[in-house]
Amino acid sequence: MIVVVGSLNMDLVTYTNRMPVIGETIIGKSFKQIPGGKGANQADAIAKLGSTVRMIGCVGEDVMGETLLESLYKDGVDISMVKRVKGVATGIASITVDSSANNSIIVVPGANNMLSIEDIKEYEQAIQDSDIVVAQLEVPIETVKYVIKSAKLKGKITILNPAPAAELDDDLLSYVDILIPNKTELELLSGLQVSDDNDLYHATQVLLNKGVRDLIVTLGSKGCVHINNSGTRVYPAYKVQAIDTTAAGDSFIGAIAVGLSEGMSYEQVIPFATAVGALTVTKEGAQSSMPLRSEVEAFTRK
Ligand code: ADP
């Protein structure tokens, strides 16, 4: 069983030919309200790929919160540990996607900011019963620290997606088994600029020296790199027609958790996650773009 601790947001997505500049009003192409939030996306990806998954997080007592929970439940996520907080709005993300599939995002955390250490203590048994615990940085950092440390001390595999980009203290990093940043997040965490393969290697060494066991750096259409103390391996991306890159990282991370919980090696799980990430960019939205296991199997058989 996999536990995901993190955010639930309603994504308010505007599709447009180009991004507006400051002070400009433009006419967009279309608008959609799609369930999202890094935590919820990762939980949703895990459920669709066929693993048992429990989500720990917070929504408000409003229609958006209700819709988010219904959507996760429908996809097979155990939502019994998602709290409904009075007097606070459910988190939202205002997303703009241009015709080249680039996105820009503003997140208003709302209820996600209410997820406390006390809440985690209440659900400690779920962590105890799990094999893998996955967290990101869209809920309070103290809560993330507590979860990762608690899971690691219970002997669980800990996966941290350090997104959105933030600096993290060494104590937290020392309890992370698998850190999955993209390039921007890696730069902020390591304090180094990453312009080429050599920079990337040096930046990852900074984090391995802080006690992270494995690093998987995702590089969008360039694929990803897996680095640990035994070496470095590059995994190219599949060539697909990208429609919307939202949540590629989330589905990739969900797939890593699923594969590891099934006992896959890194050489098996990373190509699996790469296929899941590729399929995600071929569809619009976050949870709406997460592929089913059968779709991944059909795609990799081709
Ligand atoms: P994030 O959304 O966190 O920035 P990435 O964009 O790096 O994450 O995507 C995660 C993974 O999804 C990549 O490592 C890659 O395997 C896959 N992926 C992302 N974008 C594309 C793309 N345009 N084409 C094919 N695969 C992609």
Q: Which pLDDT tens digit goes with each residue over 226-257? A: 999 999 999 999 999 998 888 999 999 999 99
- Domain housing 85: 2-7+37-90+113-301
Question: Residue 8 to residues 54, 92, 112, 129, 286: CA-CA distances in angstroms?
Answer: 13, 8, 7, 23, 12
- How many Cα atoms sit within 13 Å of 26 on the Cβ side? 15
Query: Cβ(139)–Cβ(5) under 8 Å?
Result: yes
pLDDT at 101: 78
Report yes or no on 86 lying in a domain.
yes
pLDDT at 286: 79
User: Residue 40, annotated ligand binder?
Assistant: yes
For residue 231, how far is its CA from the centre of ligand 1 (angstroms)? 22
The token pair at 176 is: 């992370």
Report yes or no on 13 lying in a domain.
no
Q: Which tens digits make up the pLDDT trace of 51-80?
A: 999 999 999 999 999 999 999 999 999 999
Euclidean distance between CA atoms 243 and 203, whole angstroms: 31
ipTM above threshold 0.85 = yes
Question: Residue 68 to residues 42, 48, 61, 208: CA-CA distances in angstroms?
Answer: 13, 16, 11, 36
Nearest-atom number in ligand 1 for the CA of 242 is: 23
Q: How far apart are the first and last CA of the chain?
A: 30
Active site residue 250: yes
Report yes or no on 26 lying in a domain.
no
User: Residue 39, annotated ligand binder?
Assistant: yes
pTM above 0.80, yes or no: yes
- Nearest CA, atom 11, ligand 1: 277
Q: What is the mean pLDDT of residues 9-19?
A: 95
Q: What is the mean pLDDT of residues 253-272?
A: 98
Report yes or no on 229 lying in a domain.
yes
- Nearest CA, atom 3, ligand 1: 249
Report yes or no on 233 lying in a domain.
yes
Q: What is the DSSP string of 163-222?
A: -S-----HHHHTT-SEE--BHHHHHHHHT----SHHHHHHHHHHHHTTT--EEEEE-GGG
User: Residue 228, annotated ligand binder?
Assistant: no
Say yes or no: CB of residue 277 within 6 Å of ligand 1.
Answer: yes
Number of domains in the chain: 1
Report yes or no on 100 lying in a domain.
no
Query: Cβ(25)–Cβ(106) under 8 Å?
Result: no
Query: Cβ(55)–Cβ(4) under 8 Å?
Result: yes
For residue 235, how far is its CA from the centre of ligand 1 (angstroms)? 11
- How many Cα atoms sit within 13 Å of 144 on the Cβ side? 25
Report yes or no on 24 lying in a domain.
no
Q: In degrees to the nearest 10, what's the CA dihedral of 199, 167, 35, 131? A: 90
Q: What is the mean pLDDT of residues 266-282?
A: 97
- Nearest CA, atom 21, ligand 1: 221
Residue 155 in this model has a pLDDT that exceeds 80:
yes
CATH number at residue 212: 3.40.1190.20
pLDDT at 92: 97
Report yes or no on 30 lying in a domain.
no
- Nearest CA, atom 2, ligand 1: 249
Rg (alpha carbons) of the chain, rounded to whole number: 18
pLDDT at 143: 98
Pocket test for ligand 1, best of 194, 221, 253 (most atoms within 8 A of CB): 221
Residue 178 in this model has a pLDDT that exceeds 90:
yes
